[in-house]
Amino acid sequence: MAKPKTSFYCQNCGAQHSKWQGQCNSCKEWNTLVEEVLEKADKQGWKSPATAAVKKIAKPLRISEIETSREERLNTNNQELDRVLGGGIVPGSLTLLGGEPGIGKSTLLLQISLNLNYKTLYVSGEESQQQIKMRAQRINPESNNCFILTETKTQNIFSQIEKLEPEIVIIDSIQTLHSDYIESGPGSISQIRECTAELIKFAKETATPVILIGHITKEGSIAGPKVLEHMVDTVLQFEGDRNHVYRILRANKNRFGSTNELGIYEMQGNGLREVSNPSEILISKNDEELSGTAIAATLEGMRPLMIEIQALVSSAVYGTPQRSATGYNAKRLNMLLAVLEKRAGFRLGAKDVFLNITGGISVDDPALDLAVVAAILSSNEDIAVPKDICLAAEVGLAGEVRPVTRIEQRILEAEKLGFSTIVVSTQSKLPKNNFIIKIQRVSKIEDVVSFLFG
């Protein structure tokens, strides 16, 4: 009997080594190398009926000779997911959805599979069919297109796929699958890579989209080798706090669309509700005006959002003043505080400054700068910024107010939500539209101070 072929893999980064050693040469972690059997038999893998009968050999073609046909994306009946994917699911694509335990990954994909108009196979390696049925009854008890399979062996899954011929396949989760051609246990680097490769081959040869659920590590990255994220077409991240009801869906990688889009859901007893107007959760509904808050007009992908910025400025109790930012770049906060002290004459060097973006989201848009400055000055002077005023501009190191991109979309969103005034840079190029909202142009921070606080 031939000796099985083995190799050593780093459980942290997935790097392959020919022999065991204490430290990984790639990630420099200690005691992470584990021996795994590579193959125990000749691979058969996935074979569709067409490719099994006729073995095609790929030939090089000029790019002008390649024929293309516009394939329609599959509509998921979920506007938030379609927006993040770039318009729907691409046939033959492989999508990986990651997130913390209990955040709602399985609920989201089960809800989508129950509402699809296509024949869907939901493969679960973590729950029984009865457990899935109990959860499905809360979401959508009536669905004739969703088929549930509890299986972890890829060869058995492919045999059921050939019989059922589904239009979409959902795997929950990739860490529970195992292939007969790899000796190591489920969840190991070799198994994850092999199972993903078999699913990719199946998806590309049959033009059937596959959606995978992936576990994450305690650092927040998807468990398994980093090559897993390189192999798939789309990597989605499902974020949120289990103590709050709102969830955020982001695309970390998307070969068929933008990675700037954002999907927002609300966790309810009967599943996840799509939040079509995110400003309802990002702006506090207070009747009285409070100091230290300002509204910013920002963009996430193609979607305009109105975000509330909260700031608290107080005298430093200890010798070194604190600078803390939640959802905002702390280095940029320090820069804006330096600009306020140098260019506008506000003495904030001996005061604690705390900044928070409501709703639990993180935003990198430079258009938030002016709203951050307004919120800090409002808290420092203890004067409230009127609730019907929003701001959209970048602040430079010289204290000048700079324009931001796609200002028309920001103005129209503010107008739609009932704001009376929006503060923008004098350099912003506005179209010749008759806006109902008042547009206040400013060129320096001093102009903003005089306009908001007199």
CA-nearest of 328, 309, 385, 318 to 352 is 318
Annotated binding residues for ATP: 99-106
Query: How many separate helices (H) and strands (E) can be counted in the chain?
Result: 12, 21
Alpha carbon 110 to its chain's center: 19
As a whole number of Å, the end-to-end CA separation of the chain is 89
Instruction: Outline where 24-128 has alpha helix (H).
Output: 49-53, 79-85, 105-115
* Token representation of residue 353: 């400054």
Beta strands in 92-191 (DSSP E): 94-99, 120-124, 146-150, 168-172
The residue with tokens 């770049």 is 329
CB atoms within 10 A of CB 272: 23
Crossing angle of helices 369-381 and 445-453, rounded to 10°: 50
- Residue 410 DSSP symbol: H
Calpha distance 82→94 (Å, rounded):
15
* Bridge partner list, 172: 124, 213
Find out whether the peptide bond into 173 is cis, omega within 30 degrees of 0.
yes
3-state SS class at 87: coil
* Token representation of residue 89: 């699911």
- Residue 436 DSSP symbol: S
Annotated binding residues: 99-106
* Bridge partner list, 352: 314
Phi, psi of 332 (to 5 degrees): -70, -35
* Bridge partner list, 163: none
Phi, psi of 432 (to 5 degrees): -80, 65
* Bridge partner list, 146: 120
